[in-house]
Structure 1
Amino acid sequence: MPDAAAIAVPPLPGVPHATDRRGMLLYGLLGFAAGLPFYMFSTVLVLRLQAHGVALTVLGFFAWVQLLPTLKFLWAPLLDRYDIPGFGRFWGKRRGWIMLAQLGIFTAMVAMAWTSSDASLGVTALFAVLLAFWTTTLEIAADAWRIELYPTQDEQGPIVAANLWGYRSAMVAAGSGALLIADSGGWAFAYLGIAVAAFLPFPILVAMRSHGSEGSGRGGALATGVIASVVILGIVAAATAAIGWVALSLAAHAGIDAKSNVTPWVLGLCMLPFVAMAAALPRIRRAPADAPIRTSVALGPYVDFFWRYGFAAILLMAFVSIYRMGDVLALNLSKPMIKALGYSLSQIGRADGVVALFSSIVGVGLGGWLVTRWPMSWMLVIGAVVAGIGNFGFVWLAHQPVAESMLYVATAFDQFGNGFAGAVFVVYLSLLVNPRHAGAQYAFLTGFAFLLPRLLAGAGGAIVGVIGYDKFFLISGVASLAAIPFVPALTRVRARTDGEPEDGKSEDGA
């Protein structure tokens, strides 16, 4: 198991630290701000498009927007290297990026409200991608800031719990609140309402003290930051539109249409960088600290991960890609199965709005608390077991008579296991990263962790058509347990430090 000790980071002026409950409140709010937009470019967007008569095959393509967060390693190094003008000077690098991301989220959702008729699916797709991009950017910056401020396992537990409490509460609020608003006032008001709620942390961050000893110049820094943000948002929007146009043109030229299965190609392209780094491991392990491959802005953070862990990095990547497999596979198909069993939308809504939220909060809280007291190896095993039980709960539900109490039991087990395993997993991944590349390496690990599961989840409907819902959830439960055999090997993994030669001995031969 990698050494939990990390480089100590002293408290920054005006910034909450582990002993301050303000840290939990702030990260609960940041989690809430990141959780709200997620459903707006996924579940809520699909329902909106469906209401406007968009074909099912086209809806499948919009589901690919959810893959963008798995590719965040592509731009995460920029957040570790560069500051946002104005924002960065006064509030620091991490808060500066969070503030920019919040402006991006707000403008993207306002744009989605403005185009809520979905008259042009290309324009709708553009703003959905921008919303996913800036939501992911917010998560990258917030996670990097969290890892820098709270580097140890004991500190991570309560902060991760607070962050996930906020995130999961926001998902429930967006999933139910946006639909209630849309039902009474239309989709435009739904997106505007969620946009305002997601923007709440911005004025709070603005009101926080400077990251340095000098706190003057707040107004000038804010004005400069807003102007710089407008420019950056425009550049990102133009680049996204251009990339989308090129991608669609190439797809049309290659004969790819709505019925084409592009999953294998996407998976192959996504895996190429990691396969290349694994093949280059011997060279990476021999590279000195000043080698171009280790100092590169684009590749350096990821090369550093392989340099520190060597061939154990392959074991770690395999483990993280499997640990949440069961939960991700079950996510998209649990609601269709429940509906197919004969439960009404109101019954499903009550289970999601009350039981799911409470069970998830308890699971996250217990996982975040125990991870500060028990060895990480035990916590990983327990997390995998309770996540598997949550999936097996749907197998049990499929063979029970239709009763709302039965639905509550299955939902409670699923959400408790999901929350518990999620809290443990976030802390574990946070301890793997090098604090000098916190944003990029955490983005790499979390993106890779959900890449394979989300791609495989796209084929879940076809699998269910062959084996049925009960066997599908049996498989997803077993997938959760499949991570357990990795744990004994993980306990022997130790990160290499600067100055330590490739064979693991110190330079003096000790």
Structure 2
Amino acid sequence: MADGRPSPARSRDGLGHTGPKSWRASLAVYRDRRFLSIFFLGISAGLPLALVFGTLSIWMAKQGVDKTTVGLFSAVTLPYALKFLWAPVIDRSPFPLLTRFLGQRRGWTVAAQLALMASIPAMALTGPAANPLLMAAFALFVSFCSASQDIVIDAYRVELLEEEKIGPGASTYIFGYRVGMLISGAGALNMVGGLGWSTVYLIMAALVLIGFVTILLSREPQYETDAESAARERRVAEYLARRPELTGRRAAILAWLYGAVVSPFVEYMTRPLWLVILLFIIFYKLGDAMAGVMTGYFMVELGFSEAEIGNVGKAIGFAATMLGVVIGGWLMAQLGLLWALWICGGVQMLSNLMFAIQAMVGHDIGMLAAAVGVENLAGGMGTAAFVAYLSGLCNLTYTATQFALFSAVASLGRTLLAAPAGRLAEMVDWMPFFLVTTIAALPGLGLLLWLSLAHRRAAPMPEPD
């Protein structure tokens, strides 16, 4: 199937129109060569994150940078949280020259990748101890370029695939993203001993070529924009142009701001149950987030050593997460997104009980491996289904802006609501704490039930034979 094939109309609730398929049909989805492109783009997107966070903090510690400075450097990752602010520019504004020759999505992707291949070597040649202020400036720019790459690749993969392939596409992208993080995290740290920090960072910059070559060999997605949204923007532009107090340029700027910034909100708020959908985005992974906040502290309090926690968390945890992402993608291909959200949400909720059992058992490395494995497996499944849901929610007229907004709401909501988990852990023992985190997943599933019933009522009735 050609990369540029137009996508058909999509459901406005993000749950899709597709139902269960045979296992052969679900596996056949992955034969589409576009999934290979999405995987490699995922690697490119995941590479820079550790370079400005975990790997960078270890480099700074090895160079003898003081702890206060290392802590302050965490602020350079702020662009990842704020990327929704400039997503409308990437959605609507052409990048000089590149958009003309490559298209809107590919042009912006290439621009972000070229900037990364220039700024990561700048970090490599600066060094955190020699000039921490300059290193912070370069790291901040890498974060900005990486967040921009995330914005445009998210939009690209959503627009590239038909609705029934969004779920498997999301899991493929997450799998690639995690591989990219592994390369720039554990992979980079394993290379440092023989090559040195600067060389390793230069190698990481060169690996961005994976995504660069991939996007050049791919096609610009072709899709039909929403006629209702286009008509609304046109009416506003005509109204502004008629206003006598506005010059032509000022009216054009206001019309652009309406189309790029205001209209994505207006379009979303015209959907049935938009508030319920918003609450579901916030609550679906709440129980998982609450447990995750205190899991490390819980392990330390049970007496597990740093080596035990690291070995179980990094080896078993990573493998289980990746397996969960694969299972989540397969469930979406086999059963459709709605059933996948139910199954992944249920497994995600019940996985917290493994830590409740760990609290009863105490210091037992086998039980820890089982608990971490199940929790990460469920987390990978839930993340795959949830990212696919956010992808399906996007109106293709505002893909980059809406996906950035939805993911920001999800992240901010979980962070704020999970923040009191520490206080709860001080008030009760560990077993009741993890029982409460299990119960905290119920509001999200209750909202999913609401959306499921509304989706079923809105589904078209089958035509009689």
- Pairwise same-fold verdict (TM > 0.5): yes
Distance change in 2, residues 1:92/1:473 (3 Å)? farther
Alpha-carbon deviations, 1:29-56, whole Å to 9, x = none? 1111112222222333333444455565
Match of 1:96 among 107, 114, 132: 107
Alpha-carbon deviations, 1:165-217, whole Å to 9, x = none? 112223333331222234554433343333332332213333456889xxxxx
Distance change in 2, residues 1:117/1:124 (3 Å)? closer
Distance change in 2, residues 1:191/1:463 (3 Å)? farther
Residue 178 (structure 2) aligns with: 168
Structure 1 gap segments, 5+ residues each: 7-16, 213-283, 495-510
Alpha-carbon deviations, 1:96-136, whole Å to 9, x = none? 11112222333332222233334444433333322222222
8 Å Cα contact 1:109-1:191 kept in structure 2: yes
CA distance in structure 1 between the partners assigned to 2:283 and 2:314 by the alignment: 29
374-383 vs 55-64, greater mean Cα deviation: 55-64
Match of 1:86 among 90, 97, 107: 97
CA distance in structure 1 between the partners assigned to 2:373 and 2:393 by the alignment: 31
8 Å Cα contact 1:395-1:473 kept in structure 2: yes
Q: How does 1:327-476 map to 2 (within 5 A)?
A: 327-331=288-292, 333-374=294-335, 376-455=337-416, 473-476=434-437
Which amino acid in 1 is paired with 2:104? K
Q: How does 1:121-160 map to 2 (within 5 A)?
A: 121-152=132-163, 154-160=164-170
Residue 191 (structure 1) aligns with: 201
Distance change in 2, residues 1:60/1:145 (3 Å)? same
CA distance in structure 2 between the partners assigned to 1:470 and 1:52 by the alignment: 41
Cα distance, 1:297 vs structure 2: 4.3
Residue 212 (structure 2) aligns with: 202
Residue 291 (structure 1) aligns with: 236
8 Å Cα contact 2:14-2:394 kept in structure 1: no
8 Å Cα contact 2:79-2:143 kept in structure 1: yes
DSSP-derived class of the 2:91 partner: helix
DSSP-derived class of the 2:397 partner: helix
Q: TM-score, length-normalised on structure 1?
A: 0.70
Structure 2 gap segments, 5+ residues each: 1-11, 18-27, 223-228, 238-253, 456-465
Distance change in 2, residues 1:74/1:317 (3 Å)? same
CA distance in structure 2 between the partners assigned to 1:322 and 1:23 by the alignment: 32
Residue 266 (structure 2) aligns with: 304
CA distance in structure 2 between the partners assigned to 1:167 and 1:58 by the alignment: 28
Q: How does 1:17-32 map to 2 (within 5 A)?
A: 20-32=31-43
8 Å Cα contact 2:16-2:337 kept in structure 1: no
Match of 1:178 among 177, 188, 193: 188
DSSP-derived class of the 1:483 partner: helix
8 Å Cα contact 1:151-1:431 kept in structure 2: no
Which amino acid in 1 is paired with 2:56? L
Question: Do structure 1's residue 37 and structure 2's residue 37 form an aligned pair?
Answer: no
Residue 5 (structure 2) aligns with: none
8 Å Cα contact 1:77-1:439 kept in structure 2: yes
8 Å Cα contact 2:45-2:177 kept in structure 1: yes
115-124 vs 439-448, greater mean Cα deviation: 115-124
Distance change in 2, residues 1:119/1:468 (3 Å)? farther
Which amino acid in 2 is paired with 1:429? L
DSSP-derived class of the 1:28 partner: helix
8 Å Cα contact 1:172-1:353 kept in structure 2: no
Distance change in 2, residues 1:21/1:336 (3 Å)? farther
CA distance in structure 2 between the partners assigned to 1:122 and 1:103 by the alignment: 23
Cα distance, 1:419 vs structure 2: 1.0
Which amino acid in 2 is paired with 1:480? A
DSSP-derived class of the 1:83 partner: coil
Residue 278 (structure 1) aligns with: none
Cα distance, 1:354 vs structure 2: 3.7
Distance change in 2, residues 1:2/1:40 (3 Å)? same
CA distance in structure 2 between the partners assigned to 1:42 and 1:467 by the alignment: 33
Residue 442 (structure 2) aligns with: 481
Which amino acid in 2 is paired with 1:300? V
Distance change in 2, residues 1:353/1:409 (3 Å)? same
8 Å Cα contact 2:356-2:432 kept in structure 1: yes
CA distance in structure 2 between the partners assigned to 1:366 and 1:432 by the alignment: 22
Which amino acid in 2 is paired with 1:30? L
8 Å Cα contact 1:65-1:128 kept in structure 2: yes
Cα distance, 1:420 vs structure 2: 0.6
DSSP-derived class of the 1:491 partner: helix
8 Å Cα contact 2:115-2:145 kept in structure 1: yes
Instruction: State the Cα RMSD in Å.
Output: 3.5
Distance change in 2, residues 1:477/1:95 (3 Å)? farther
Which amino acid in 2 is paired with 1:321? I
Residue 458 (structure 2) aligns with: none
Task: Provide the aligned length of Structure 1 versus Structure 2.
Answer: 410
Alpha-carbon deviations, 1:252-297, whole Å to 9, x = none? xxxxxxxxxxxxxxxxxxxxxxxxxxxxxxxx9xx77622588624
Which amino acid in 1 is paired with 2:102? W
Q: TM-score, length-normalised on structure 2?
A: 0.76
DSSP-derived class of the 2:13 partner: coil
CA distance in structure 1 between the partners assigned to 2:34 and 2:61 by the alignment: 40
8 Å Cα contact 2:52-2:142 kept in structure 1: yes
Percent identity at matched positions? 29
Distance change in 2, residues 1:385/1:116 (3 Å)? farther
8 Å Cα contact 1:332-1:457 kept in structure 2: yes
DSSP-derived class of the 1:435 partner: coil
CA distance in structure 1 between the partners assigned to 2:431 and 2:57 by the alignment: 25
Distance change in 2, residues 1:415/1:305 (3 Å)? farther
Which amino acid in 1 is paired with 2:107? G
Alpha-carbon deviations, 1:59-83, whole Å to 9, x = none? 5544444443232221111122123
CA distance in structure 1 between the partners assigned to 2:136 and 2:58 by the alignment: 14
CA distance in structure 2 between the partners assigned to 1:446 and 1:5 by the alignment: 19
CA distance in structure 1 between the partners assigned to 2:186 and 2:377 by the alignment: 20
Residue 497 (structure 1) aligns with: none
Alpha-carbon deviations, 1:442-487, whole Å to 9, x = none? 1111111101323566676676566576665554444333311111
